[in-house]
């Protein structure tokens, strides 16, 4: 589980606990549609970008690999 992979005192956990990302849904609600391919959760995209910036990872693909 995620709890086993990420230590309790890890920076990512601290940021997750201190930032309420739900406001993003209101910001992007008009940009998403029920038609077409399933979209990636916008909150997850922002979190991945945040992790990418925080840890200086230049590639989104590398960020996703590290997150997995």
**Do residues 65 and 51 make contact, with C-beta atoms less than 8 angstroms apart?**
no
pLDDT tens figures, 16-59 = 889 999 999 999 999 988 888 888 899 989 988 888 888 888 88
Tokens 């997850």 belong to residue: 44
Q: Which residues span the domain enclosing 12?
A: 2-67
- At 56 the three-state DSSP class reads coil
**Do residues 24 and 46 make contact, with C-beta atoms less than 8 angstroms apart?**
yes
The total number of structural domains that make up the chain: 1
Structure confidence at residue 15 as a pLDDT band (50, 70, 90): confident
């Amino acid at each position: 589980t995620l709890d086993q992979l990420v230590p309790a005192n890890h920076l990512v956990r601290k940021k997750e606990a201190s930032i309420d990302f739900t406001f993003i849904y209101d910001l992007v609600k008009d940009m998403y549609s029920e038609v077409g391919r399933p979209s990636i959760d916008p909150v997850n995209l922002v979190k991945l970008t945040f992790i990418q910036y925080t840890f200086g990872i230049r590639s989104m693909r590398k960020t996703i690999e590290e997150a997995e």
